[in-house]
Structure 1
Amino acid sequence: MSLKHLVVVVPGIGGSNLVDGKERRVWGHDLGALAMAPFRAEELAIDNPLVPAGLLRVSGALPWTGVASYGRLIAKLKRRLQLSNDDVSAVGPQGVLNPAASLVEFGYDFRQPMADSAGRLRAVINSVRGNRRVIVVGHSMGGLVARWWWGVLGGHRVCDGLVTVGTPHRGAPKALDWLVNGVSLGLGPVGAASRHLLTDASQVLQGWPSVYELLPRYRVIKSEAGILYPHEWEGAGDWFRDRAGVAYRTHLELETACVAATEESPQSAFMAFYATGHGTLSSAFVDRDGRLRVSKDDPDWFDTKGWKGGDGTVPSLSATPVERESVNERTWSPEHHLAMADSDRAVAYVAQFEQDGKGNVRGGSDEDEAWIGLDYDVVRVETSTALGLRLNGAEVDDGVVPQVILKAEPGDGGDRPADAMRLEVAQTADGGWEAGLPGLPPGSYRFTVSLDHVPGVDRVETSSLIGVVEA
């Protein structure tokens, strides 16, 4: 069934397939295939020309972090909007494979500046839109690309709805940690030990303009000199401060353009989906030795309005743009960052635009239900660790313990266990729980957490992805 709108999905960092000049996949999987390409960091260096070729259909794991897949999101949109396979098309190296499609999967070179990717997004939309109005759904960094198209490039004039899901509109301290300290597998001794094993990946990331645009747009570093923006910290080298300064000014340009666009096109709806309650890098400080440390503590120099933590990657205070203050332009969602890529709430919101009346196309910021917060990092292969769990919005009796089931994601390759496994769970002193994760082969795994006997709702459940990497 054709839609009256053109719906475009823009993925996050790592969510697009990339191929070289010979159409050999360097990152991702072949269109229609499921096995992930072997990863070699040097092939993703910024000076190696690559071309986007569709979205990831299965979850993947870079050597230092998990990346979302978009097969579930596309499937949910198809069901909700009653679309056939012919109504969905990817953007390949030669353009949109089916220009008449109602749902377009926009892949892009996630190494490049958002302005470059947004320019390509504009060209794709203009080539297939015809007389249709547009709905754009951007996950994570894809929301920044979409917002640049909307505000700077004039997309607001043809857009009925811009939907961002887990987007770091004000940046993410994880990017600060990667660029200054190098990529690692989490915090603490394990993270420190992994940094020297990931030197190649760190050097590659330092060349990506896109990662600098993910730096916190807010004062994030606590130091003897005061509370600083990343580009103001003199402890970093000139190479970092210069690039961080360019990224900061890019965000100022984006915000100015979006203010003007909102005034010109007030009928163009905006909605940011965000999460709270998950362990999320949110602040940074300079230790007595002059080294930068990132922390999952909320910055105490801001009023975070009770929005503790974030979605595991994006702090809740970053998930809405500076120029957007209305509670009707943000909606809470309970998922962890990777699982938000196919958020049921975002899918339902998009579907509202195909209804005859749009009076209910709005949101709210109150977390009005119980949900399970998660705290975990990428795991090194064959290394035992723990998943942190916490019930938010309700309380249960002592002794009530959640059930955690882990299963390998299909199609990710590798010699991984085929059967689901139940993890051992123990209560912690602070009222949460820890689920013991055994040493596992590399790849992507989905875990489901369910908790019974929760007052008012009886059962609370959540699901997310974790990457096990070789480092």
Structure 2
Amino acid sequence: MARAQVTDLVVVLPGILGSRLADADGRAVWDLSGPALLRGLRAFGGSAGSLRLPKDIGDGDPGDGVVPVGLMPDLHALPGIWHPVDGYTDLLRWLERHFTLSVSDNLLTFPYDWRLSCRYNAERLKGRIDLELERWRASAPERGEARVVFLCHGMGGLVARHYVERLGGDGITRRVVTLGTPHRGSVRALADLVEGGGHRDPELGAFARSLPSLHQLAPDYPCMEGPDGLARPGDLPGLPGVDEALLADAALFHADLRGAPPRADLYAIAGTGQSTAATARYAGDRLTLLAAADGDGTVPRLGGAGAVAEPGTPYAWWTPYEQHGSLQNNRAVREVLRGLLGDEPLPPEDATAADPAGRLGVQAPHVLPAGVPYEVTVTAPDDARLLMAELRPADGGRPAARALRSLGGGRYGVVFPPPEPGAYRLSVGPVTALSLIRRSAL
């Protein structure tokens, strides 16, 4: 099959945690994925203090010598900051197979220090694009009018949008494609701030609370139950865990994006069919997530797509049935990318809603204490399904597969014996053709 011709520069931006970080001597300070994930997480708490940011960092650089060195290739997670996310190697290889794209040529990756403000990283993005687009345009006459297409996962979409909408990048940008970007924030990020690591190492909690980036992922909509109804997090005084100055600045960051005039075309792809917290209540020193809404399990559907649609804004969105951490590897998402990057027609919006085989919602723990059985619940359009769940160790060990039993009302369930400590991928699909629906880490 011939590769589709692409003359533009395609830039891939990962989400939070999705960039490998190293110190000034080149030693890895964040590079935990795949088989090394569990071992690295056990040791990371001890080094989190050295990566904590100063209180008044704002949009600045802490000057600690930490630099981004590449994208995370495989499954990665840091409990207390974000849910598990699969890596980006498979996405990059797929792009090279199906389009005339080549890494370090016209397919660029933009790793960034995900601890820092989206504004800071957008400034870095601007400097990189200025150099790379000039190089690409000068490499052949037919590329003289090339523009940039941004393909962004999670927080990477906020970085790209700030560059395009506030730093003048719209003049050279053809479109911005976001996968699970919390355009209006995620209540899960707020919970991570308030909980401050919960049962985890307090150093990790203090590290998380120092990050401007995590505050910029907090909800930018009324989501907290208050005496007068739902309120924005910043309007409730005394909410523990958050840095009030960082939270107020995050509100300004989102207001700037909402107030920007229409710029480049925005294509927002948001996972759907997965139970996702959209509101919360704080009482008794605990933040309780409420109102399970539709979404990708981490970002509510409207927060990841519909909420950014302003009058006059070039905008479209698609909603595959998928979890946040695997959107970049979802088959339906890639069908949309074929149309956005190549010359194939775009599928209709909500195309996956017409495919009953793919309409599965999966609920399972992201983090599981040792010795506890692993319980999986699946929702489907009906009770006439033959579904299988597969739990596969990230280190390549032997997978365990079990059939789900019907619980009635379109619900299915299965319980795995307590897994050995480690990182795992969970796949759920029809018995005849197991399709990857959800990836998780234990």
TM-score class normalised by the smaller sequence = 0.7 to 0.9
CA shift for structure 1 position 292: 3.0
Q: Which structure dedicates a bigger proportion of its chain to helix?
A: 2
Question: What residue identity is the alignment partner of 1:57?
Answer: P
Quote the offset at 1:365 in angstroms. Answer: 4.2
Equivalent residue for 2:401?
A: 422
Q: Deviations over 1:2-32 (max 9, x none)?
A: 84110000001111000001010111169xx
Q: 1:292 aligns with which of 263, 287, 296?
A: 287
How far has the Cα of 1:465 moved from its partner?
Answer: 1.4
Question: Cα gap change, 1:354/1:247 in structure 2, threshold over 3 Å: closer, same or farther?
Answer: closer
- Give CA deviations for 1:105-157 in whole Å, capped at 9, x if unaligned: 11000110100111111111111112321110110111111111111112111
1:143 is matched with which residue: 151, 157, 167? 157
Is contact 2:386-2:403 (8 Å) kept?
A: no
CA contact (8 A) 2:152 2:160 kept: yes
SS in 1 for 2:274: coil
Distance 1:58 1:286, change over 3 A: closer
Counterpart for residue 66 of structure 2 = 50
Please tell me the residue identity of whatever aligns with 1:53. V
- Contact 2:271/2:321, CA 8 A, preserved across alignment: yes
**Residue identity in the other structure for 1:338:** G
Equivalent position SS for 1:249: helix
Q: Does 1:134 align with 2:148?
A: yes
- The residue number in structure 1 matching 2:200 is 197
Q: For residues 102-113 of structure 1, what are the structure 2 equivalents within 5 Å?
A: 102-113=106-117
In structure 2, the residue corresponding to 1:9 is in which secondary structure? strand
- Counterpart in the other structure of 1:277: 273
Aligned to 2:18: 15
Q: Is 1:234 aligned to residue 234 of structure 2?
A: no
Quote the offset at 1:459 in angstroms. 6.7
One-letter identity of the residue aligned with 1:375: Q
Q: Distance in 2 between matches of 1:20 and 1:328?
A: 39
C-alpha spacing 1:355/1:291, structure 2 compared with 1 (3 Å): closer
Aligned twin of 1:61:
77
Give the aligned partner of residue 40 of structure 2. Answer: 38
| Aligned pairs for 1:278-427 within 5 A | 278-287=274-283, 289=284, 291-295=286-290, 297-298=291-292, 308-320=293-305, 322-324=307-309, 329-355=316-342, 360=345, 364-365=349-350, 367-370=353-356, 371-382=359-370, 383-391=372-380, 394-397=381-384, 400-410=385-395, 418-423=397-402, 425-427=404-406
Post-superposition offset of 1:428:
3.0
Deviation at 1:249, TM superposition (A): 1.3
TM-superposition CA deviations, 1:148-200 (whole Å, max 9, x none): 111111211111110000110010000111111233xxxxxxxxxxx233422
Corresponding position of 1:157: 171
Q: Could you report, residue by residue, the CA deviation over 1:195-232 in whole angstroms, capped at 9, with x for unpaired residues?
A: 23342221110000000001111100112232110001
Q: Kindly indicate whether the alpha-carbon contact (under 8 Å) linking 2:196 and 2:241 is maintained by their aligned counterparts in 1.
A: no
Give the Cα–Cα distance (whole angstroms) in 2 for the partners of residues 153 and 373 of structure 1: 39
- Aligned residue for 1:74? 92
1:88 equivalent to 2:103? Answer yes
> CA distance change for structure 1 residues 443 and 135 in 2, over 3 Å: closer, same or farther?
farther
What SS is found at the alignment partner of 1:467?
Answer: coil
In angstroms, what is the RMSD of aligned CA positions? 2.8
Q: Is the 8 A contact 1:275 1:334 kept in 2?
A: yes
C-alpha change, 1:292 and 1:446, in structure 2 (3 Å) is closer
Equivalent residue, structure 1, for 2:57:
none
User: How many residue pairs get matched?
Assistant: 406
> What amino acid sits opposite 1:292 in the alignment?
L
The answer for the alignment partner of 1:24 in structure 2 is 27
Distance 1:127 1:23 in 2: 24
Residues 424 and 436 in structure 1, CA contact (< 8 A), matched pair in contact too: no
Cα distance in 2 for partners of 1:335, 1:238 equals 30
Task: Give a deviation string over 1:399-443, Cα, whole Å, max 9, x none.
Answer: x44111121224xxxxxx711111353333554122213322343
Aligned to 2:258, the other structure's residue is in SS state: helix
Distance of 1:440 and 1:58 partners within structure 2: 20
2:411 and 2:127 map into 1 onto residues whose CA distance is 49
Deviation of the 1:460 alpha carbon: 7.7
5+ unaligned residues in a row in structure 1: which ranges? 90-100, 184-194, 299-307, 411-416, 453-457
Offset at residue 362 of structure 1 (A): 7.7
- 1:34 CA drift (Å): 8.0
Structure-2 change in CA distance of 1:350 and 1:246 (3 Å): same
Q: Under a length normalisation based on structure 2, what TM-score does the superposition of the two structures give? A: 0.84
- The 5-angstrom pairing of residues 143-222 of structure 1 reads 143-183=157-197, 195-222=198-225
C-alpha separation in 2, matches of 1:438 and 1:282: 31
Q: Distance in 1 between matches of 2:106 and 2:434?
A: 35
TM-score by length of 1: 0.79
When residues 461 and 75 of structure 1 are mapped into structure 2, their CA distance, relative to the original with a 3 A threshold, is same
- Report the residue type matching 2:289 in the other structure: V
For residues 20-75 of structure 1, the C-alpha deviation after alignment (integer angstroms, 9 at most, x for no partner) is 01010111169xx9855824131432255410001011112324442331011111
